[in-house]
Amino acid sequence: MESGAFLQLEGIASKYGSTPVLSDIDLKIERGEFVALLGSSGCGKTTLLRVLAGFVTPSDGKVIVRHREVTRLPPDKRGMALVFQSYALWPHMTVDQNIGYGLKLKGVSKPEIKDKIAAIQALLGLSGLGARKPAALSGGQRQRVALGRALAVDPEILLLDEPLSNLDARIRLTVRHELRALQQRLGITAIHVTHDREEAMVMADRIVILDAGRIAQHGTPEEVYNRPASAFVAAFMGAENYLRLTGMAHDDRFMIAASAINEATAMPMPRHPLADGPVQARFRPEAARIFSKTDEIPEEGVCFKGIVTTMTYPGGHWRHSIHVGDREILADCHRAHTPGEEVLVHVPPEALFLFAAA
């Protein structure tokens, strides 16, 4: 790993008893970067955040901040602040008291605490709420108070443990953009745990996808979305349609063989080379186009023969369930196709992800 990284994880491993939770985590994070740890429940993302915070001691590996190893340091000696999923506000304290709590523990003078609280409230739109207690605040306001308490101690690194999951969907959309804008304005380094793919995509500079305690892929949102490194990442990033094909590698192309569900066609070879034989093809419902048999079909890409089974209207398009071979796939279209209709599902080359068969 590069020695210039602001925050480094080297060979991090963690266990609960004899059960491994994290294995071989190597990661570098630059100063001012917003990194999202993304994965399903049980993948190890919250454990990794708590290793960073100092609440969990790894069984192996190092945590390094600005070339200084902090692996064994207590949480309050790391220059980090953690915003919990539950906010963890003191219910008997006012907004002012909650925000200033960390400063009081550090022995900051009362005038300095008062000035800092006022600055934080102005920054987060909490002015005028200082005398209220958490029970008298909305979910969005409580989230801002928890964030304000973390920012008040001027952390070098802000750790966020799914802080938006308790907000309703409409408020969550607003707060995620506010939080991202605030992080950019302050230039603070942020590591954000989430299981929400869209949340990670719109907030992070870089996404780290975890699977069973290991890093499956990390990169910019565009990279992990458009160039998934594995079938797991492709499925997690929305390419849940799965069909089994066969073919052979030829130079920089993969020649998909004809079958009962498709005609023979050539596709660009992905970054990961494929061997001759069976492959799994994955694609997103919104990437597919549905054609009737009499329609003119685009030349590039692959077409799958299927029969419409059901259709729904989620808004803006019709979503169809289509029986292709022995599987059901989903595909979107601007118009509705009738159940029982024989259709062709076209997927362009850039939207079809090919991987070695499981």
Domain boundaries, the chain: 7-232, 239-356
Percent of the chain with pLDDT over 70: 99
Contact between 323 and 307 (Cβ < 8 Å): yes
Bridge partners, 318 (sequence order): 333
d(CA 225, CA 218) in angstroms, rounded, equals 11
pLDDT in tens, 65-111: 999 999 999 998 898 988 887 778 889 999 999 999 888 888 889 99
CA nearest neighbour of 257 among 278, 274, 241: 278
Q: What does the alpha-carbon distance between residue 207 and residue 58 come to, in Å, rounded to a whole number?
A: 22
Cα–Cα distance between 140 and 134 in angstroms, integer? 11
Task: Determine the straight-line distance between the first and last CA of the chain, rounded to whole angstroms.
Answer: 31
pLDDT score of 70 = 94
* Poorest-pLDDT segment among 47-61, 128-142, 300-314, 327-341: 128-142
pLDDT, residue 125, reads 82
Q: What is the pLDDT of residues 107-165, one digit of tens each?
A: 889 999 999 999 888 888 888 888 999 889 888 888 888 888 888 888 899 999 988 87
Does residue 1 register a pLDDT over 70? no
Using the predicted structure, report yes or no on whether residue 167 has a pLDDT greater than 80.
no
The pTM score is: 0.88
Q: Are 182 and 12 in contact (CB under 8 A)?
A: no
Interval 238-296: pLDDT, tens? 999 999 999 999 888 999 999 999 999 999 988 888 899 999 999 999 999 999 988 88
Which structure tokens are listed for 74? Answer: 């207590």
Alpha-carbon span 289 to 312, nearest angstrom: 16
User: What is the spatial distance between Cα 195 and Cα 198, in angstroms, rounded to a whole number?
Assistant: 9
- 333, pLDDT greater than 60: yes
Task: Please report the pLDDT score of residue 2 as a whole number.
Answer: 45
- pLDDT, position 339: 95
pLDDT value at position 295? 86
**Predicted local distance difference test score (pLDDT) of residue 313:** 94
User: Mean per-residue pLDDT for 296-305?
Assistant: 90
| 242, 249 contact by CB (below 8 A) | no
Mean per-residue pLDDT, 348-354 = 95
pLDDT at 349 over 90: yes
pLDDT at position 86: 77
Task: Please state, in angstroms and rounded to a whole number, the distance separating the CA atoms of residues 91 and 73.
Answer: 29
Using the structure block, give the residue that is written with the tokens 């938006």: 164
Asked if CATH classification 2.40.50.140 holds for the domain at 239-356, the reply, yes or no, is: yes
pLDDT value at residue 350:
93
* Count of H-run helices and E-run strands, the chain: 8, 20
Both tokens of 139, joined, read: 């979910």
Fold of the CATH domain 7-232: Rossmann fold (3.40.50)
- Average pLDDT over all residues of the chain: 91
Most confident option among 38-42, 87-91, 163-167, 175-179: 38-42
pLDDT of amino acid 4: 61
